[in-house]
Chain A
């Protein structure tokens, strides 16, 4: 009651205006715990900065975290809880594919915007849900970028060894489709792997004779997380020397730490935050990336990576859309504003949404990376950015 009273006598003071809350539904515990910690740090820092700039016309932004513990039921419960809280205008997260599918369905039913950090399952994305927005590079643009990489390296024949989950599978299929349009011969291996496999040697032993017989130029490991370095390590242990192409999921420091020497020479396309200090002078997002990198280093003493970049962009997109809302922010007005985002320069690239495109980024927002000397090195390939 007192608060309402103060708000009424002091309408112009920013601190008194009710905050616009952002629900964050993340895997703060469980296997992604270490990664989501970075997301939380980056988001806290960004929200603090935006509130320092006066928030949204005096309304501060507020983050409400709920841990879903890598558990489908808890992710759904968190999402429902957020939708019941009228102060929450938008929900960010979760990470994991099957968790996303559920929260997106709830978002659609309850009419609240759901911003998805990690690339989505193509089948779910294909639903063209009105209230869900993706901020990461989609399987389509990653595949286009990797086809460019293969063409620039003059590979004629590439074998794809993909994971047995929908995103990895779709990356493999798009790569084959786009590759064959450009005259690349793509063989999708019959053997697959699971995210929990600790040893890919048996699969690779079966692929090795095929690779030698067909004179395959490179192997594309369409996967994410620990299987990436496991594949590289196992291939080198079996004496397979052909070049390895990775996905954007290879662009994390821990991947190099796991794979060690076996990661040398692996090439892939990834988001710009992987190489914050190697961007072109005239890159439109260079100022955003370097500024964010500098602030993360100052506050937490750690450089940025793709995940920190996604966290930055999620908050940046919310802030930008809320700024453009006329009058008080409501869930519906916020959604429409977010869908009208045009050319927002953020960490991962230039975001443009439209009623038909909820993916935001394009092929231009990715760079080619090569692992050299245990570090990510940006490579420029003539004719292909």
Chain B
């Protein structure tokens, strides 16, 4: 069987997975741009979004949108709390220390939800219809379209937030030039605080979108977080669009690799890409504030 015949279907599967990676990466980049910290608990926001919606839908309300909004609200609160309890007290410590603290927060969040919600994976019903339809000879799940649509909608919203609102402009200013922002009187701590909320919200939305397709359990944040991290490195830490681009590139490359090598190695592909990008273009596709662009 010729490998090329799989390509269209693999591409479709890669785009869906890529959208999820993109959303996780977007959460990473939002926090990183605000305070130059990589938040390793990003995957946990995704997990919490999915699990909370599952339980709200089961126990509190039969309305999907309501349950999802409450879940997003709770996760945003968790993001705020995490900033107040983990990042704010360590704001003056060297950068490595808050980084490790976020890793601790990630373990804390995943184990607490294992204790509260049980350890078996959960699945949400799809938003609309479970039956695939044929499009250009490829079968597509309605949920995949939801994932794609929501990703772009969220990107547009974030763009409007950062370019059209005063608050968003302040956040943008603070991440572009922290010293300049300080001088014009923007409170950087408050901007980082808000960035945690935005990032947690993005993560929660990603979680709600994927739980109908992939299952979510208390420990599924780790692998999603890692993939999102790779996507962020790939796209570059500098821009939201970089994260989105990185996510899609990673998802598609991972899926397409399956046509040529056994599927068991597809996780290895992601990490091989990570190494290659770090060797040859450490600032990512669209650039990163971490890496001095003059050197590379």
A-B contact sample (8 more), CB < 8 A, given A202-B263, A236-B130:
A31-B219, A33-B118, A34-B120, A191-B263, A192-B263, A193-B263, A199-B17, A260-B125
A35 within 8 A of B: yes
The answer on a CB contact under 8 Å between B121 and A32 is: no
The answer on a CB contact under 8 Å between B264 and A199 is: no
Q: Which chain B residues in 1-22 approach chain A with CB under 8 Å?
A: 1, 5-6, 9-10, 13, 17
Q: Which residues of B contact A193 (CB under 8 A)?
A: 263-264
B220 within 8 A of A: yes
B255 within 8 A of A: yes
B293 within 8 A of A: no
Q: Which residues of B contact A31 (CB under 8 A)?
A: 119, 217, 219
A166 within 8 A of B: no
The answer on a CB contact under 8 Å between A202 and B114 is: no
B78 within 8 A of A: no
A215 within 8 A of B: no
B139 within 8 A of A: yes
Among candidates B10, B17, B130, B141, residue contacting A205 with C-beta atoms closer than 8 Å: B10
A230 within 8 A of B: yes
Q: Which residues of B contact A239 (CB under 8 A)?
A: 132, 134, 139
A8 within 8 A of B: no
The answer on a CB contact under 8 Å between A33 and B114 is: yes
Task: Report how far A31 CA is from B220 CA in the complex, Å.
Answer: 11
The answer on a CB contact under 8 Å between B258 and A202 is: yes
Task: Report how far A174 CA is from B130 CA in the complex, Å.
Answer: 35
Interface residues contributed by chain A, number (CB under 8 Å): 39
The answer on a CB contact under 8 Å between B215 and A230 is: yes
Task: Report how far A122 CA is from B141 CA in the complex, Å.
Answer: 39
The answer on a CB contact under 8 Å between A196 and B262 is: no
Closest chain A residue to B130, Cβ basis: A261
Give the shortest distance, in Å, between B230 (CB) and chain A (any CB).
16
The answer on a CB contact under 8 Å between A254 and B120 is: yes
Closest chain A residue to B7, Cβ basis: A205
Q: Which residues of A contact B17 (CB under 8 A)?
A: 199
Interface residues of B (CB under 8 A from A): 1, 5-6, 9-10, 13, 17, 114, 118-123, 125, 130, 132, 134, 139, 141, 213-215, 217, 219-220, 223, 255, 258-259, 262-264, 266
Closest chain A residue to B126, Cβ basis: A260
The answer on a CB contact under 8 Å between A238 and B9 is: yes
Q: Which residues of B contact A35 (CB under 8 A)?
A: 119-120
Q: Which residues of A contact B263 (CB under 8 A)?
A: 191-193, 200, 202-203, 206
The total of interchain contacts (Cβ-Cβ below 8 angstroms) comes to: 92
A258 within 8 A of B: yes
The answer on a CB contact under 8 Å between A198 and B258 is: no
A262 within 8 A of B: yes
Task: Report how far A254 CA is from B119 CA in the complex, Å.
Answer: 11
Q: 1/0 contact trace for A299-334 toward B, CB 8 Å?
A: 000000000000000000000000000000000000
The answer on a CB contact under 8 Å between A260 and B123 is: yes
Q: Which residues of B contact A261 (CB under 8 A)?
A: 130
The answer on a CB contact under 8 Å between A202 and B132 is: no
The answer on a CB contact under 8 Å between A202 and B214 is: no
The answer on a CB contact under 8 Å between A258 and B215 is: yes
Task: Report how far A221 CA is from B125 CA in the complex, Å.
Answer: 23
The answer on a CB contact under 8 Å between A202 and B255 is: yes
The answer on a CB contact under 8 Å between B215 and A226 is: yes
A164 within 8 A of B: yes
A84 within 8 A of B: no
Give the shortest distance, in Å, between B259 (CB) and chain A (any CB).
8
A257 within 8 A of B: yes
Task: Report how far A357 CA is from B9 CA in the complex, Å.
Answer: 48
Q: Which residues of B contact A29 (CB under 8 A)?
A: 114
Interface centre among A196, A206, A258 (most CB of B within 10 A): A206
Task: Indicate whether A258 sits within 8 Å of B9 (C-beta atoms), given known contacts A209-B1, A239-B132, A239-B134.
Answer: no
Q: Which residues of A contact B266 (CB under 8 A)?
A: 202
Q: Which chain A residues in 247-304 approach chain B with CB under 8 Å?
A: 254, 257-262
Task: Report how far A191 CA is from B114 CA in the complex, Å.
Answer: 31
Q: Which residues of B contact A257 (CB under 8 A)?
A: 122-123
The answer on a CB contact under 8 Å between B255 and A30 is: no
A-B contact pairs, 17 of them (CB 8 A): A31-B217, A31-B219, A34-B118, A192-B262, A193-B263, A199-B17, A200-B263, A202-B10, A202-B13, A205-B9, A205-B13, A209-B1, A237-B139, A238-B132, A238-B139, A239-B132, A258-B121
Q: 1/0 contact trace for A199-222 toward B, CB 8 Å?
A: 111110110011001000000000
Task: Report how far A341 CA is from B77 CA in the complex, Å.
Answer: 58
Closest chain A residue to B256, Cβ basis: A202
The answer on a CB contact under 8 Å between A196 and B119 is: no
The answer on a CB contact under 8 Å between B262 and A190 is: yes
Give the shortest distance, in Å, between A197 (CB) and chain B (any CB).
8
Task: Report how far A380 CA is from B188 CA in the complex, Å.
Answer: 69
The answer on a CB contact under 8 Å between B220 and A201 is: no
Task: Indicate whether A32 sits within 8 Å of B132 (C-beta atoms), given known contacts A198-B220, A202-B255, A239-B139.
Answer: no
Q: Which residues of A contact B132 (CB under 8 A)?
A: 236-239
The answer on a CB contact under 8 Å between B214 and A210 is: no
A153 within 8 A of B: no
Closest chain A residue to B125, Cβ basis: A260
Task: Report how far A140 CA is from B1 CA in the complex, Å.
Answer: 33
Task: Report how far A203 CA is from B130 CA in the complex, Å.
Answer: 21
Q: Which residues of B contact A32 (CB under 8 A)?
A: 119
Task: Indicate whether A209 sits within 8 Å of B125 (C-beta atoms), given known contacts A203-B258, A236-B132.
Answer: no
Q: 1/0 contact trace for A13-30 toward B, CB 8 Å?
A: 000000000000000011
Closest chain B residue to A238, Cβ basis: B139
A194 within 8 A of B: yes
Q: Which residues of B contact A210 (CB under 8 A)?
A: 1
Give the shortest distance, in Å, between A240 (CB) and chain B (any CB).
9
Task: Report how far A205 CA is from B17 CA in the complex, Å.
Answer: 15
Q: Which residues of B contact A199 (CB under 8 A)?
A: 13, 17, 213-214
Q: Which residues of B contact A236 (CB under 8 A)?
A: 130, 132
Task: Report how far A38 CA is from B264 CA in the complex, Å.
Answer: 33
